[in-house]
Structures are given as C-alpha cells and as structure tokens.
Structure 1
Amino acid sequence: MIEAIRPPRHLRHWWLKDIRVPACLIAVPDAVSDAEGLTRVDLEVVDDTIATLRPASWDRPEAAIFHEPGLLLPAFVDAHTHLDKGHIAPRAPNLSGTFAGALEAVPRDREAHWTASDVSARMHFALASAYAHGTHAIRTHLDCKDQQTRISYEAFGAARDAWRGKVELQASPLFPIDLALDDVHMRSVGEMVSTFGDCLGAVTFPGPALQPGLDRLFRLAGDKGWRLDFHADETDDPGVNTLAAIAQTALDHRFDGPILVGHCCSLSLFPDEERKRTIDLVARAGISIVSLPLCNMYLQDRYPGRTPHWRGITALHELKAAGVPVLIASDNTRDPFYAYGDLDMAEVWRLGTRIAQFDHPFGVWAGTVFTTPAEALGLPDARLRAGSPADFLVVPARSLSEFMARPALPRTVIRGGVAIDATLPGYERLDQLEGLRP
C-alpha cells in the first residue's frame, strides 16, 4: 500500500532525505538532473522555514529523518480562475456544452442568485478545496456588471481576509471590452480595483470598440501602476486575433507593467506566418500567456454529432520557444463553462501534460504550475530554497512518470512546516444555497 510521507504535527525539526524534485523548481547550486529533469536533495525544516536544501548526501543529521522515496513540489499557484461562478452547474446547466450555451446560462444564474451570501459561500467552498489540494495563491476573475461589481468584489475582499496566510488571493475584473468606453461602468470598476487590488482587465473581441477600449485600459493601468489581465480569442475562428492588438497596444503605450493574457485559442489555427508575427509581438511586449487546457478542451470545437478536430489550446510550445512565459491554470469549476474540476492544480498539471504534450522531459515544463505563474502574479520567487517558508507538497512517487500515471496517489501538504488537514469539503456544504441541493 502506498502511503504519503507525513511528519507528525509536533515535530518542529526534521529532514526529508534523498527526495526528488524538478531541478527548475529549486535554488541549489550544482544540482544534477536525471532524464526527467529531477534532482535528488536533502531538505531540513526548522519550525516554519526550510533551513537547508542541498544535494542528497549520505550523512545522518541529528534530527528526525524521513527517507522514503518521494517527490517534493512547491505549493501550487493557480493564476486564472472564476471563483464567483464556481459550482453553479447544478442549477445553471449548459446542456449543449458549448461556449454560446455558457454565455446564456451564466447571466440567468447571476441575475437570479448572486447575492453576497451566495457568492461568498461558493467562494469559501472553492478555496477550502484549493487549500486542501496544495494551492497557496489564486487569481480570480470577477464578473463586473451593474450592482454585481460591488457585490462580488466585497465578497472577494472578505474571502481574501479570511484566507490570508493560507491562500493568497488576487482579483481581476471581467467585462466586455466595449464597456471600457462606458464612463459609469469604469468609475465603478476603478473604485473596486483601487480598493481591492491592482489588476485591471477585460474580454477582448474584434469590433470598433477594441482599439479605443484597449487604449483606455492601458492608459488607466499606466497612470495607476496597475497590472493588466485579459481574456482573448477564446474561439476556433482563425480570423480572430485580438492578441496581436493587445501586444501592439502595449508596445505603443510603452507599458512596462505585467500583462497576462488568457486562452488565445485561435492562435493555434493561424497560418504559420501570422502565428509567428503574433508571437513575436507578444514576446516583444513582455506578455505572459496562460492556457486553460481543461476548460478549452471542453468548450472548443464542440458541435452536435461531431468529434472535436483539435485540442482547443494555444500554441504553447511555439510561445515558449520564442521566450514567452507560458503557464496553465484551472479556469472554471463546475459551472456552465466547464462542468467539472475542483481547483486541483495537480489534476490541471497531469491533464495539461497529456493535452499539451508537456513531457520528454517532464521537468522542462514543471514551472507552468509553480514558478511561472508566481512570477506572472508578482509573487515571491516560488523556487524552494534555504530560508524560504516551509510550504510544499510531498507525494510518494519516485518519478514524474509515476506521479503523472496515478492521480489517486496521496499527497501531504506542508504549510509552515506542518502537515495540514487536507480533508476536502463535502458538497453538502453547498446544499444551503438555492438550487444546489441535488
């Protein structure tokens, strides 16, 4: 029987001996990697800190030692989610499974149910799940329309305070780019961004509002020192390329703040020259790209009676080869845009590896769910190192191949040097909300 490595809670000084970790996720000089990109290390925990991280050795320190074969990973960073929509699928089913069906179902549910208590309860449930799975930071997008803007941002603010020290939260507004030209809307959004964070964004699509809308958002973000986060080109139409407009606008405004752009699905379907030109613009503009492989495989190229012909994801390999930071994230969970998911970044990594071919070697791509999203969100360097907080996961797998092959492998989540209670919240906790009892 495979069991997780689990130090007793009372231990405040202990070692993990000869444990494997992707070399790109640690700050250890002279680390030697195997064919998968893993290196063997010894890790010492003293109280809530990693006191020592070094290449594995044969000495036996004067402290408790755990020497079972295992895989060491930093805590996950989930850079693109929708906590305000989560878990509404039972009362807002998208029976067609299409993007258009989701766009119809969500507004109906929002108008009928998204009170402060409803949004708050679903957020807390989602965060309890993410924490138990080993995630320590999340950025969520919040639908911004009329009074819902304040309701959802205030629920987010309360959740951020309640989960501080467990899951660090950021928020970005979500609205169609044409609303960027609406003064009343932008005053409301600007007030919430100023109060609850420093990230501004929108959904981009072709049309007369695209360029003036982008110009206004870039000017506002530049004046305020805010970050930018866009949804772009979530379509299988190769004629849609707002990503290039975002990149060109960033260059024209000489914007030097962080920009994260999500989805970019149509980029994979462009003619080679247009894809290359767009990727070059993205690289020059310093943009990071987040792909949402689970949601986009679910939604894209879905037509009745026909098997999908493509995977729905963006050109991740080409972007990475051009020096563009690429990452993957959960996106939607149990809502009309994606009927499944649990904010489990291990699941996202495993399935993303299969969907996007993040393998041979695995280790080259390990940063997509740890270090790269941390950098994109402006968080501290996520690499494990001596002196950093003792926040990490331990899995009883001797290789990334074993980790990827068995989703049911137990994991130990260490936060502040202590193994947390990783019991997932039962779905019955949502039964109090209207329409969510089975």
Structure 2
Amino acid sequence: MLDLLFHNVTIPHSSERMDVGISDGIITYLAKTEDEVAPAKEVIEADGRVLLPGLVEPHIHLDKAYLLDQMEQDATNLTEAIQFTSDLKKSFTKEDIRRRSVKVLEKCVGYGVTHLRCHVEVDPIVGLKGMEVLLELRETFRDQVEIQLVVFPQEGIFKQPGTTDLMEKAMLLGADVVGGIPYNDNDAVEHIDFVFALAAKCNKPIDFHVDFSDDPTQLAIRDIVKRTLAYGYQGKVSVGHLTSLASVPYDEAKLIAADIAKAGISVMALPATDLFLNGRSDQERVRRGVTPVKLLLEKGANVSFGTNNIQNPFTPFGTGDPLDIALLLAHVAQLGTRQDAELLLDMATVQAAKAIGLKDHGIALYNKADFILFDTTNPRQILLERPPRQTIWKRGVKQRTIVTERR
C-alpha cells in the first residue's frame, strides 16, 4: 500500500491526467488516472490541479542578503556593488549572517524551494564566518530544503593573499562546490586554473561567476570550456551571469554557445541583477544585459535561472520566490508562448536540478517525492496568474510553511 497518492493531477509534459504514488518519500507509482484508485494510506483528490516538482534555486547569496538598511549610499554599477559589499563585510558577525540567511531560507521554503545552491563568501575580510554559519543552517533546514554550499572568493583569489588557504579550509569543513569569479582577479586564467585544480583535488563540481559585463571581449568562458574538456569535467561545471556573450557578434556567439553545450556546461541566467547593473553605459539601444537564453537553448546548452541577490548593493529587489525570476525572464527573453511557459517551469525545476547535479529530481519513478500542488489546472497560469501554492511536500512529508501569493 502506498503512503500517499495524488489522484487526478496535471503534471509537466503529459497530456493525460495522472496518479502519482509515494512510498517512503520516493515516487513508486505513476499511471494514467482511471476509475480504480490504487490503495494508499492517504489520497489527495487533486481534480486536475497542477503538481510540479519542488522548485530549485540554483544560484543565491544568503550571507549578503538584506543589506539595504546597512548601506550609506546606493550602488550605481558593478564596481561600486563589489566595493560597498566588501566594506559592509568588515562588520559581519555570525549572528548577523545567520539572521539574514534564515529570513531568506524561510521564505524560499514557503515558496516551494526544495533544493538550493548558495554561494558563500570566503576571503580574508570575512574569513570562514559565513561558511561556518551556512554549514550549521544546512543541517538545520535539511528536512525542508537541501542546501549546497559554494566556496565563493568574491574579492578574487590572488588579489587577496590568504584566500587560497581559506578556500581549501572551507572545502575541508564540508563545502560542496568550488566557486570562482575570474573577472574580479588579477589574472583570469590563473584564477580559473586554481579553481579547476582545487575541484579536481577535492572531487567536487565547479560554479563560476563569469563574464559579468557588456564587454564582448570579456570571454573567460572560452578558457572555462577548454579546462572543462581537459579535466573531463563535462556535466560538473556551471556558470552564472555570462552576460558579455549577449554583446558578442551573433555568428561568433553561436560558436561559443555550441562549445558551451559540447562541454556540458550549465548556464544560469540571473536577470534581476544583470538587468539592474548592465547596459548603464548605453545612451541608445540599451542592452538587456542578460545572457542570450534562446541562443544557448538552441545550441543545446542546459539553461536555468537564479535569484542571485536579495535586497543588497547588487540587486535592491528580491523576495526569494523563483517564480518572480521566471516571470522577469519571460519578459526580457521574450518567452511568451504556451511552450515557453512549460520551458520556464522546467528551468525552475528539472533544468535547475541538472545544473546543480541532482539526479533524482522531477516527477518520474524512483525520484524523490518533492512536490508543489497549485490551485490551477493550467500550468501556464502558474506564471500568468500566480495561483496559490496549496501544499508543499518534501520527500513526501507535508511542509508547514506555506506562503500566500502576492496579489
């Protein structure tokens, strides 16, 4: 007998109403809805409402969220955002980091985020404070959201002596991913080489902030592609931003996009931050400042999107709801068809899961039972009308924190 059965649900990429059964937190039954209902201890009569996999947040910064009240002035470009945050970090305490991080995590859980990848700043300014706090919170929240921690050298690796040792210590403490930011270091190639070497040594995946500008000559992605192939790291590398690619001549951009796909590199669009900070030098034909999503998809790359920052110098907006970012990206990338709506929901779930290396996410047999039940029978309406998320399950267990949609 099943522990739980969802009877008569609409699921992604199925023209048939389906029944989805759970045993011990795993999907063990998946069949077209019939008059005869499989035996289960509990049956959810869905009446055709949409059941989605849990949302996946593949790129977020918890340790520097909600900094607006601490800022003396607003950032007007990327350089200022980096500098202002660096200055603010000098006063960070573990208690402060924990309070702001918990605020975001509780919101994310309420919105139905069941997996999250967080970039944690590690440098001589803040030391390992953020990593130590987030390692604790990873355990505290493990029954609600599975958290991956990225060792992130925001200030550069070689610009800040001592960062290499701190990154290695953070990996030994239990971090999950080696991060990098080559555009904010003395030598981008040296930076990339160190990241790949550390990741290979620790047998961990890689996640870069890369090519965050409107400059078509800033293309560290080419070196990342080469190192990915040389290290045999296909499928283990993700990059966020990649906005310079949108300014590259189209024929050249097509070749780079194809190389990204060939190397199995996942791209995470970060439209809230990228729209806010890019294109500021343009007086006319102002660039959108977002990676060319359609081109990357056309060439076969795995593309998802992330919240990135929440109410700080980089992005003075944000709620922690991935569907906010989905709607924003739908506008800026001109993804407005019914098929595009399905694509955006995939990007928020299974494609984001692939980007962070999850093998068992999505509504399929023997995957984990992480779900959201929406009060609509039309998947497209999840983006257009934002119907309430009625209930959220993590490994088949109903979650208590449910956020009512903003109207």
Alignment TM-score, normalising by the size of structure 1? 0.83
Q: 1:408 Cα shift?
A: 5.3
**Residue 60 of structure 2, aligned match among 81, 87, 90:** 81
Deviations for 1:106-147, whole angstroms, at most 9, x for unmatched residues? 1222112x1111111111111111111111111111122215
Question: Which string of whole-angstrom CA distances, capped at 9 and with x for unpartnered residues, describes residues 147-181 of structure 1?
Answer: 51311110111111111121111111222585248
Identity of aligned residues (%): 23
Residue of structure 2 equivalent to 1:131: 109
1:216 and 1:45 map into 2 onto residues whose CA distance is 44
Describe the shift of the 1:230–1:17 C-alpha distance in structure 2 as closer, same or farther (beyond 3 A). Answer: same
Instruction: Specify the code of the residue in structure 1 equivalent to 2:138.
Output: R
Q: Distance in 2 between matches of 1:418 and 1:185?
A: 41
How far off is 1:261 after superposition?
Answer: 0.6
Cα shift at 1:314:
0.5
Which position in structure 2 is the counterpart of 1:357?
A: 334
Hey, what's the Cα distance between the residues in 1 that align with 2:400 and 2:185? 50
Q: Which residue of 2 aligns with 1:44?
A: 21
Cα distance in structure 1, aligned partners of 2:72 and 2:129: 23
Structure-2 residue corresponding to 1:321:
298
* Residue in structure 2 matched with residue 92 of structure 1 by the alignment: 71
Pairing partner for 2:371 from 389, 392, 404? 392
Select 1:279's aligned residue among 248, 253, 257: 257
Any idea what SS the aligned residue of 1:205 has?
helix
Task: Summarize the Cα distance change of 1:208–1:388 in structure 2 as closer, same or farther, 3 Å threshold.
Answer: closer
Is residue 176 of structure 2 the alignment partner of residue 186 of structure 1? no
Aligned-partner residue type, residue 53 of structure 2: P
Tell me, yes or no, if the aligned pair for 1:225 and 1:257 is still in contact at 8 Å. no
Could you say what secondary structure the match of 1:324 adopts? coil
TM-score relative to the length of structure 2: 0.89
Q: CA deviation at 1:229?
A: 0.8
Which residue is equivalent to 1:17?
7
Q: Does the 8 A contact of 1:353 with 1:359 survive in 2?
A: yes
Q: Secondary structure of 2:87's match?
A: helix
2:230 is equivalent to residue 240 of structure 1 = no
Task: Tell me, in whole angstroms, the C-alpha distance in 1 between the residues paired with 2:3 and 2:273.
Answer: 42
Q: Which residue of 2 aligns with 1:224?
A: 202
Contact 2:178-2:206 within 8 A present in 1 as well: yes
- Tell me what 1:380 maps to: 359
Residues 108-147 of structure 1 mapped to structure 2, 5 A cutoff: 108-112=87-91, 114-147=92-125
Amino acid at match of 1:108: D
Q: Which structure exhibits the higher relative contact order, with contacts defined as CA atoms closer than 8 Å and separated by 6 or more residues?
A: 1
Aligned to 1:421: 400
Over 3 Å counting, the alpha-carbon distance change for 1:280 and 1:62 in structure 2 is closer
Q: Secondary structure at the match of 2:388?
A: coil
Distance in 1, matches of 2:221 and 2:64, equals 25
**What is the DSSP-based 3-state SS (H/G/I as helix, E as strand, rest coil) of the residue aligned with 1:318?**
helix
Partner of 1:412: 391
Equivalent residues of 2:75, 2:313 under 8 A apart = no
The question of whether the paired residues in 1 share the 8 Å contact of 2:54 and 2:371 is answered with yes
For residues 347 and 42 of structure 1, the distance between their equivalents in structure 2, rounded to whole angstroms, comes to 29
Counterpart-to-counterpart distance in 1, 2:251 and 2:61 = 34
SS of the equivalent of 1:21 reads coil
The total of aligned residue pairs comes to 399
**1: distance between equivalents of 2:238 and 2:83?**
26
Classify the secondary structure of the residue corresponding to 1:18: strand
Q: In 2, Cα distance between the equivalents of 1:183 and 1:99?
A: 23
**1:3: which partner in 2?**
none
CA contact (8 A) 1:94 1:102 kept: no
Q: What is the letter of the counterpart of residue 52 of structure 2? A: L
CA distance in structure 2 between the aligned counterparts of 1:275 and 1:54, rounded to whole angstroms: 43
Equivalent AA in structure 2 for residue 273 of structure 1 = D
CA apart distance, 1:336: 1.3
Aligned-residue Cα RMSD (Å) equals 2.7
Query: Matched residue of 1:90: which SS?
Result: helix
1:106 maps to 85
| Displaced runs of 4 or more, over 6 A | none
Asked if the contact 1:93–1:336 (Cα under 8 Å) also holds between the matched residues in 2, the reply is no
Does the CA-based 8 Å contact 1:301-1:308 persist in structure 2?
Answer: no
Q: 1:221 to 1:417 in 2, by over 3 A?
A: closer
The aligned counterpart of 1:8 is none
CA deviations on 1:26-81 (whole Å, 9 max, x unpaired) are xxxxx5x3xxxxx5212234564444221232334566451434111011111100
Secondary structure of 1:54's counterpart equals: strand
8 Å contact 1:181–1:212 — kept in the other structure?
no
